[in-house]
Amino acid sequence: EPLRRLAAIRLPCAHLIHRSCAASIIASPSGPHITFAHLNCPACRGSRKRPARAVGLDHPALRASLEPHLALRSAVVRCAKRQLRERASAAEKAQVQPGGEHDGRVLDFALEAWTFFRCERCDDVFCG
């Protein structure tokens, strides 16, 4: 659909997207392991420079539907920090230090290095 026919919203990256399309993207499941790629702007999804806290589909009209995803993201970040503290090698820890490949972006590093799941029984996030 042309953008002028349906309600469109401007994302923080300045791209325009139909509001209904953004809502559909947010609602789509990411599969058995946890990912957040579907929450990034479809037009600039390939960018690896996005900070861990950024959500490309962030817009006031989408905030309510983003809330569960942001809560899950916070749980994954907590799990990732625990994983880094308890089990990561010195080389892995160095990647999230200033000047490292992921320079402070713990979530980006963790999602690349490890696989996260949600327990079907208790809903807790764990690294498997």
How many whole angstroms separate alpha carbon 53 and alpha carbon 70? 9
Structural domain of residue 52, as residue ranges? 8-127
In a domain, 1, yes or no: no
For residue 95, the Cα-to-chain-centroid distance in whole angstroms is: 19
In a domain, 59, yes or no: yes
- Domain count along the chain: 1
In a domain, 83, yes or no: yes
How many whole angstroms separate alpha carbon 25 and alpha carbon 40? 9
Reported as a single tens digit per residue, the pLDDT across 33-92 is: 998 888 888 888 755 555 444 568 889 999 999 999 999 999 999 999 999 999 889 999
